[in-house]
Amino acid sequence: MAERKRVLVTGASKGIGRALLDRLSADGYSVVGLARSRPDGLSEGQTFHACDLTDFETTRSLIQRLAAEQPFYGLVNNAAMAPIKSIDDTTIDDMQAAVQLNLNASLICTQAVLPGMRKLGAGRIVNLSSRAALGKINRGAYSATKAGIVGISRTWALELARDQITVNVVAPGPTATELFNMASRPGEDPRTTALLASIPVGRIGKPEEIAHAIAFLLDPRAGYMTGQTLYVDGGLTVGNVYL
Ligand SMILES: NC(=O)c1ccc[n+]([C@@H]2O[C@H](COP(=O)([O-])OP(=O)(O)OC[C@H]3O[C@@H](n4cnc5c(N)ncnc54)[C@H](OP(=O)(O)O)[C@@H]3O)[C@@H](O)[C@H]2O)c1
């Protein structure tokens, strides 16, 4: 029997990353998840390693050790954090914290899987951006890093194209996860009520719907698509159905 293709997912303990573990193992991949806390109920085809991705040396050596066992065909840079601060309140520490996890950890993870992907002669990298990259109030540090993900992914797409490694971006809109609940406080913040009412499809997204777009980009048949950003946002970035 052929060996299952191996995919590394960061931020796999909850939300979109957790949904992705289930989706990818159901699709027949061998999935390795990273996050600081271990999720419950892992099933066949799923393994997990506790790791703080902002500890770069530990993260790099963990991934290198895992890749030496079996190279990763896919990487999903999904873990992120979002300081909720206005322009007046945002500190350099907020900026640094967002850059450390949302951008720098993605670089470290990507560098650590590349030798194995090159050996395989193929690879798929999917980076998570956000609708907030286009602008969202009180998300200065977060939106800067999520716009940065789009830029760095386009550059990596060009640098890695001849290695048959694709690099694409999934940019979710509001999705029912802990990050969204903590940052946007649905039911409490009137701006969130207005935001949810303005989603063209009339509802918030589910983590499995974001996982579906990521799974499409990871597919071996998606090799002619690279450097692209796919918005999965119920039509929010397209416009308003009432105007
Ligand atoms: N939900 C939305 O509405 C939405 C919208 C746009 C974009 N996105 C993007 O989608 C991605 C996933 O978001 P989500 O909503 O699923 O977030 P989430 O529910 O908060 O999950 C974030 C994941 O990242 C992990 N993580 C956080 N800090 C970490 C660290 N220092 N080291 C290792 N792991 C860490 C968390 O696990 P531990 O706490 O266990 O470490 C968790 O598994 C993010 O890139 C986010 O920007 C989400």
pLDDT at 1 over 80: no
Helix orientation angle between 105-120 and 140-160, rounded to the nearest 10 degrees: 20
Q: Name the residue of 8, 9, 10, 13 whose CB sits within 8 Å of the most ligand 1 atoms, as the mutation to test its pocket.
A: 13
pLDDT at 130 over 80: yes
- The CB of 78 under 6 Å from ligand 1? The reply is yes
Quick: pLDDT tens for 101-112. 999 999 999 999
Residues acting as catalytic residues: 142
- Has residue 99 been placed in a domain? yes
Candidates 157, 42, 130, 180; CA nearest to 9 is 42
- Has residue 241 been placed in a domain? no
Query: How close is the Cα of 80 to the center of ligand 1, in Å?
Result: 5
Task: Tell me if 13 sits within 8 A of 178, measured CB to CB.
Answer: no
Quick: pLDDT tens for 154-191. 999 999 999 999 999 999 999 999 888 988 888 899 98
Segments forming the whole domain that contains residue 76? 6-179+207-231
- Has residue 107 been placed in a domain? yes
Q: For residue 179, what pLDDT is reported?
A: 85
CA-205 nearest atom, ligand 1: 3
How many domains, the chain?
1
- Has residue 192 been placed in a domain? no
Tally of helices (H runs) and strands (E runs) in the chain: 8, 7
Q: What average pLDDT does the structure give for the chain? A: 96
What CATH code is carried by the domain that includes residue 106?
3.40.50.720
Task: Tell me if 128 sits within 8 A of 148, measured CB to CB.
Answer: no
